[in-house]
Amino acid sequence: MVIENDSFDFPWTEDEYRSLVKERNCISMVAVSGEVVLGYMVYELKKTKIHLMNFAVLKKFRRLGIGRAMIVKLYSKLNVERRQAVFANVRESNLDALLFFRANGFFASRLLKDVYTSSPDDTIVMERWYNSSP
């Protein structure tokens, strides 16, 4: 929760995390060094895609390759027969996330309006397909 609250203007609550962990198709992964959690991701397995629902790295450990390593791990779960893409919904005001995903082989595929009730931001859907290079 420390990373979540430090990373986002509209952080998820602990109850939101708890409810997701109970879902069969939602998976949480953490990046650790010793006993320290450096980053995490929460993703949902869809029929043909993986929905990256939440993703963050502790601020003092950003730009060290931890986020890229997590994306590589997630990307390794794609294959031509089943799930062929990873996508993430990113607030249009979150320039750091948009640039991070772009640098890791994602492209903006759609703009969604009125997704968030907590802010006037629109959502940019970032996608990366199987066999696309970063």
pLDDT one-digit tens code per residue, 72-130: 999 999 988 889 999 999 999 999 999 999 999 999 999 999 887 777 889 999 999 99
pTM: 0.88
Q: Which residues contact 133 (CB under 8 A, 6 or more apart)?
A: 105
For the segment(s) 2-129, the CATH number from 3.40.630.30, 1.10.357.10, 3.40.50.1980, 3.90.79.10 is 3.40.630.30
Q: Which of 5-9, 16-20, 35-39, 118-122 has the highest mean pLDDT?
A: 35-39
- How do 49-57 and 85-91 pair as beta strands? parallel
